[in-house]
Every structure is written in C-alpha cells, then in structure tokens.
C-alpha cells in the first residue's frame, strides 16, 4: 500500500506504486487546468505496508516514514509477540513539547470557560480545569518509561497556563426575572 500525502494534511491510500504515480500525474494535470500546482516538498509517496519494513531495511533506508492523519500519527511497526506487521496509531499531541500542549490546552479551557461562563457556574468550570489537568498528568506520565510525573509539577503547569475561570458579568435579579 502506498500513502500519498498532500500538503501534510490530505492523505490518500492506493494499492501500488504505479497507481500512486498515475494518480499523482493525473492530479497534477488537473490542477494545471486551474493554474495550480502540487508543492514538490509537501507531496510525498510513502510506502506503508507489511513489506515496508523489510523493503526499507534492504534499501538501507531504515524505518518507514510516519504520517499524521486526523488526530493520529500512523507508524508502521512489527509486533513483538509474533513479528507480524501492524499499524500503530498514536495521538498526535501526546509527544509534542510541553509548551505547545500548554498553549493548546489553554485555548481549550478558555473556550470552554467563555461558552459556559454564567453566574453560579464557577464550581463546574473549576472542576473542568482540574479534570483537564488530571488527564494531562496521566498523558505526561504515559509518554515515557520513567516514573509518573509528580502532581506538584502538574499543579505548577496548571496554575501557569490554565487560568481560573472568572465570571465577568453578574446578572441582577431584574435581568434573570427572579422576584424576591
């Protein structure tokens, strides 16, 4: 199986190299009709099959290339148990540097807080922030073979990157229709 990757995001699976070459040629011709062209560095043919590992070793190329599709990094590996080919799918964000994940999580929590920011909902927003931090600690602990990441380190990251939710507007009883 050959994987055709366009611009790093769009992925197409085809059966053989000849099919992949034919598809790439036809796509380039079609794009020329609209005065467009494929970027040579961003368009790749990747061998991704049960034979990719052995073929790469024979050529001296090493391990087959990986590619990102949807939210997973696809990796061509052999199982330890029986040496058979399998596709390993890992979450893309699992092995990114901590500052990049920090910024992404900050955007997630900020968006959640803005959407759900209502008076009297602050405890639920704080709980969401805590749970994001808890899952983050679990993920950081699983991404290496060392001991788990201590909670004091996660708490420091949470306090630095995931701000406490605040309610900016307080609705008075006139706005909510509450009569006391």
Sequence ranges of the domains in the chain:
2-93, 96-161
Q: Would you state the pLDDT for residue 13?
A: 64
157, 167, 159, 172: which is closest to 123 by C-alpha?
167
pLDDT of residue 72: 80
For the chain, 180 residues long, give each residue's pLDDT as a single digit of tens. 566 666 555 566 666 777 878 888 888 888 899 998 887 777 777 777 777 777 777 777 777 777 777 778 888 887 888 877 778 888 777 778 888 888 888 888 988 888 888 878 889 999 999 999 898 888 888 877 777 888 898 888 888 888 777 765 555 555 555 555
Q: Give pLDDT, residue 154.
A: 86
d(CA 129, CA 124): 9
Calculate helix-pair angle for 122-142, 151-161, nearest 10 degrees.
Answer: 130
* Cα distance between residue 136 and residue 131, in whole Å: 8
Q: Is the pTM of this model over 0.75?
A: no
Give the model's pLDDT for residue 4. Answer: 62
DSSP strands (E only) in 15-166? 43-47, 67-69, 72-78, 85-91
């Amino acid at each position: 199986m050959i994987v055709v990757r366009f611009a790093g995001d769009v992925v197409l699976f085809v059966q053989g190299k000849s099919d992949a070459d034919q598809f790439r040629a036809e796509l380039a011709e079609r794009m020329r009709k609209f005065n467009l062209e494929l970027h040579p560095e961003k368009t790749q043919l990747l061998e991704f099959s049960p034979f990719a590992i052995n073929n790469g070793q024979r050529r001296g190329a090493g391990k087959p290339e990986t590619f990102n599709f949807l939210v997973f990094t696809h990796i061509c590996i052999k199982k330890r148990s029986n040496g058979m080919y399998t596709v390993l799918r890992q979450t893309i964000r699992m092995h990114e540097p901590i500052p990049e994940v920090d910024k992404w999580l900050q955007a997630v929590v900020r968006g959640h807080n803005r959407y759900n920011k209502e008076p009297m909902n602050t405890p639920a927003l704080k709980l969401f922030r805590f749970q994001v931090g808890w899952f983050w600690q679990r993920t950081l602990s699983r991404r290496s073979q060392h001991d788990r990441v201590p909670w004091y380190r996660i708490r420091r990251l949470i306090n630095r990157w995931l701000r406490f939710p605040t309610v900016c507007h307080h609705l008075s009883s006139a706005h909510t229709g509450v009569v006391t």
